Amino acid sequence: MFKEIANMKYITILILILIVTLIQGCDNSVGPSSPKTTGETTLTTQTDGYKFTGFSFSRGGNIVAPNAKKIVPDIRVHVQTDPTGEIQGIILSSGTQLFYPAFHPLKEFDDTDAAEEYFNNVNEAPDIYADLAFFVKANQVWAVKTNDDKYGIILILHTDAYEYTDDSNPAPYGEVRFKWKYQPDGSKKF
């Protein structure tokens, strides 16, 4: 009798474990998830050997490039210097190549509230783009054409550029923080 009860407990426990495993393994999603279409990020010029960090609208965030999946970022940050090494400002380029028409300045504001209101109400991307966005600074709104011919809008929140010196290798360092929104269907309407 005790043996039968022990066997029933054992079978019950196995059935419960099986049920829990099946429930957790079920995919309750209806289909593929929609891409992220808004957010905020910070990019820097910091590199790791030959790798750099860029921003990808389709991935909804920062990515390291080059990478095994061959995903190319839409935005990369650079620091522009003059021939004497004096820092001039922050430049944005496409992650694909330096000369790819990807940037269009929409508007610049003196205050954050006005810039944010404009950014929130931009409803269409323009037709013409330049290779670089320079010099970017806070409260500017830019349209961006992605590497796969889709469109995004960015609001520059903060920039910083200075000469970084570690032990023996001075180099310009820059960073830019921005809000972004993305139109994943390829239309220019937001």
Q: How confident is the model at residue 96 (pLDDT cuts 50, 70, 90)?
A: confident
pLDDT of residue 35: 84
Decide if pLDDT at 181 tops 80. yes
Task: Provide the percentage of residues in the chain whose pLDDT is more than 70.
Answer: 82
pLDDT of residue 168: 72
pLDDT of residue 11: 60
Task: Provide the percentage of residues in the chain whose pLDDT is more than 90.
Answer: 72
Question: 103-142, pLDDT tens digit by residue?
Answer: 999 999 999 999 999 999 999 999 999 999 999 999 999 9
pLDDT of residue 21: 52
Task: Round to the nearest angstrom and report the end-to-end CA distance of the chain.
Answer: 72
Q: How confident is the model at residue 164 (pLDDT cuts 50, 70, 90)?
A: confident
Comparison of pLDDT for 6 and 177, the residue scoring more: 177
pLDDT of residue 24: 56
pLDDT of residue 13: 58
pLDDT of residue 95: 85
Question: Three-state SS string across the chain, please?
Answer: CHHHHHHHHHHHHHHHHHHHHHHHHCCCCCCCCCCCCEEEEEEECCEECCEEEEEECCCCEEEEECCCCCCCCCEEEEEEECCCCCEEEEEEECCCCCCCCCEEEEEECCCHHHHHHHHHHCCECCCCCECEEEEECCCEEEEEECCCCCEEEEEEEEEEEEEEECCCCEEEEEEEEEEEEEECCCCCEC
Q: Kindly list the domain boundaries of the chain, sorted by start residue.
A: 35-183
Question: 147-159, pLDDT tens digit by residue?
Answer: 999 999 999 999 9
Comparison of pLDDT for 109 and 29, the residue scoring more: 109
pLDDT of residue 17: 58
Q: Does the predicted model carry a pTM greater than 0.95? A: no
